Structure 1
Amino acid sequence: MQIQRSFKQDKVGHLYLVPTPIGNLEDITLRAKRILTEADYIAAEDTRTSGILLEKIGVHNHMISFHKYNSKQRAPELIKILRSGKDIAEISDAGMPVISDPGYILVQECIKNDIPVVPLPGPSAFATALIASGFDAQPFTYYGFLPRKSSEQGEFFEKMAQSSATSIFYEAPHRLKKTLKTLSKYIARNRQIVCARELTKIHEEFIRGSIEEVQDYFAENDPRGEFVILVSPNTEQEKTLSWSELIDQVNELVDQDISKKDAIKKVAKENNVSKNELYDKYHQN
């Protein structure tokens, strides 16, 4: 058991987790700016990106690179600095540290070494999108970045299809159409989703509608900017069966001397899924 009290101590330094704006620079807090100014070092995911941000908000401090490719090697160095009594402010490229970046590794090492970890509240893209989505915010599941391959995304989309919580994940613009196409194979055609882009920036936009409507929109409009995708909760009334359950229904009809073609058509219509997708899934077994 461990109890942390975050008041300032002279024996060791503090690790401050400092959120940075996800777009609009006015979202930097007074406290965040003060900590970034007063800290002995700033651990940044990308020193070039962060350097531009710090210059714009008037912070001139020594930066140390800390990203997913060097985090395991760099963490012991940062712990040594903290144990010497110096403070480090960790920042992500944008938004909250630790969320979808390697900051948790440093946090874990600090906890092991009894070094205080002080979190600051601030901007987060998924939380910003959630409160404006129109979906129920309690509960929600945040997935971060999904695997890039469609074959690996299926596991996550099956969970979203059945989930009674709002599901949230990030996607890059050049992969958005392909990801939506894969998602559409797992959720009902009328299932509501939201694609939020360029949050807090000039071109901030929320595209709301069924999965089919949103796909149609992006067929006519090229995706631009980083996206937060939200999938509405699955209510009891719109319960979506898994592919294996749908295939079982087809087999039950076939056992009743209904042709496979008609059975697939009937099950697809009753469950509001693609007939062609169900056909493919059925014959893959």
Structure 2
Amino acid sequence: MKRQSSYAADGGKLYLVPTPIGNLEDITLRAKRILSEADYIACEDTRTSGILLEKIGVKNRLLSFHKYNSKQKAPELVEMMQQGAVIAEISDAGMPVISDPGYILVQAAIAADIPVVPLPGASAFATALIASGFDAQPFTYYGFLPRKASEQRPYFEQMAQARATSIFYESPHRLTKTLNNLAQVLPADRQITAARELTKIHEEFIRGSISEVTQYFAENQPRGEFVILISPNTETVAINWADLCQQVDELVTGGMSKKDAIKQIAKAHAVSKNELYDAYHQQKEQ
């Protein structure tokens, strides 16, 4: 176990700083200050980030840190922070670590006992979620899915059964094909939302059944980056509590704690953890 205070130690730190996903007014005052004060800014693309930083009036030294060099670069950045450097990590847009390699640097910093300080800010999937019209608790975020239909299908089958709102990202040139693949798994009347160009001048939400939204994009060329949200499965399904309790027992016999076993089985079958807990203890009492 590790305890780490973000503010207690002087010297090297890693700041995780969100940047706007479109509208520059979404940069926070704190984010601008940290970016200005940091010794270095680690970013996915120095050209993209350089343009953004110039627009918001921040001048600082940029370091390239992306998915192709992250494993080699992380130890170098950790060494710099151990020597007292303050590094701010940013994505091309939005929240660091979300669909970018920032977690590799975070893991390395934690292992080296370097304080990791997260800043709140813009996130495309959270922005889309609150305007989707779907229940926001719970939800499952998948990031970018595999490109091949055969590799996408297991994800779509999981989303079809999920009792939570499902969210993933897609690019405009793959959107139509991905929606067609999704339509083969979801019921035709299942509701989805396609959010595009969030916070930008052409921001738009296309809401409807999977068949309606798929047809819309068959007739209208997709433009901009997309967040796709799928409504929860609300069909009434008979739950075999005895079977689920047996699965919990099998995990407990295998060495897992009762609490963790109940949590895992509840999540796997999209049932209430509290209801499974009650059913399990009722069975034991009998």
Distance 1:8 1:48, change over 3 A: farther
* Correspondence for 2:6: 6
Counterpart residue identity of residue 176, structure 2: K
Q: Distance in 2 between matches of 1:60 and 1:113?
A: 28
Measure, in 1, the Cα distance between the counterparts of 2:92 and 2:124. Answer: 12
CA gap of 1:185–1:238, structure 2 versus 1, over 3 A, is farther
Shift of 1:8: 5.0
The letter for the 2-side match of 1:54 is L
- Displacement of 1:217 after TM fit? 0.8
Amino acid at match of 1:225: G
Structure 1 residue 234 and structure 2 residue 228: aligned?
no
Tell me the distance in 2 between the aligned counterparts of 1:219 and 1:156.
Answer: 23
Matched with 1:160 is: 159
Q: Gaps spanning 5+ residues in structure 1: where?
A: 240-285
Paired with 1:227 and 1:8, the residues of 2 have a C-alpha distance of 40
Summarize deviations over 1:216-262 as a string: whole Å, max 9, x none. Answer: 111211000000000000002499xxxxxxxxxxxxxxxxxxxxxxx
Instruction: Give, in whole Å, the separation in 2 of the partners of 1:96 and 1:238.
Output: 37
What CA distance in whole angstroms lies between the structure 2 residues aligned with 1:238 and 1:207?
29
In structure 2, runs of 5+ residues without a counterpart are 239-286
Alignment correspondent of 1:17:
16
Scaled by the length of structure 1, what TM-score is found? 0.82
For 1:9 and 1:234, locate their aligned partners in 2 and report how far apart those are by CA, in whole Å: 47
TM-score by length of structure 2 reads 0.82
Please state whether the residue corresponding to 1:137 is helix, strand or coil: coil
* Superimposed CA distance per residue, residues 151-208 of structure 1 (whole angstroms, 9 cap, x where no aligned partner): 1000100000000000000000000000000001111000000000000000000000
Identity of aligned residues (%): 76
The answer to whether residue 174 in structure 2 is matched with residue 175 in structure 1 is yes
Residues 191-210 of structure 1: pairs in structure 2 closer than 5 A: 191-210=190-209
| Structure 1 position 102, deviation (Å) | 0.2
Q: Are 2:51 and 1:52 aligned?
A: yes
Residues 113-153 of structure 1 show CA distances to partners (whole Å, capped at 9, x for unaligned) of 00000000000000000000000000000000000011100
CA offsets 1:259-278 (integer angstroms, 9 cap, x no match): xxxxxxxxxxxxxxxxxxxx
Check whether the contact 2:9–2:115 (CA below 8 A) recurs between aligned residues.
no
Instruction: Please report how far the alpha carbon of residue 86 of structure 1 lies from its aligned counterpart in structure 2 after TM superposition.
Output: 1.1
Q: Distance in 2 between matches of 1:141 and 1:78?
A: 32
Q: How many residues align?
A: 238
In the TM superposition, 1:59-74 aligns within 5 A as 59-74=58-73
Q: Hey, what's the Cα distance between the residues in 1 that align with 2:64 and 2:54?
A: 17
Q: Aligned AA for 2:70? A: S
Deviation string for 1:48-96 (max 9, x for gaps)? 0000000000000000000000000000110011000110000000000
List 4+ stretches of structure 1 deviating above 3 A: none
Per-residue deviation at 1:6?
1.1
Tell me how large the CA RMSD over aligned residues is. 1.1
> Which runs of structure 2 are paired with 1:84-123 in the superposition (5 Å)?
84-123=83-122
Provide the rounded CA distance (Å) in 2 between the counterparts of 1:68 and 1:160.
27
Q: Distance in 1 between matches of 2:149 and 2:215?
A: 20
Is 1:185 equivalent to 2:184 in the alignment?
Answer: yes
Q: Provide, for residues 22-57 of structure 1, a one-character-per-residue CA deviation record: whole Å limited to 9, x for no partner.
A: 000000000000000000000001110000000000
> Aligned to 1:236, what secondary structure does the other structure show?
coil
SS of 1:109's equivalent in the other structure is: helix
Instruction: Specify the structure having the higher radius of gyration (Cα).
Output: 1
Partner of 1:33: 32
Q: Distance in 1 between matches of 2:215 and 2:85?
A: 54
Distance of 1:2 and 1:215 partners within structure 2: 48
The separation in 2 between residues aligned to 1:226 and 1:151, in whole angstroms, is 23
Q: Partner of 2:221 in structure 1?
A: 222
**1:9 Cα deviation from its structure 2 partner:** 2.5
Q: How many Å separate the matches in 2 of 1:226 and 1:83?
A: 38
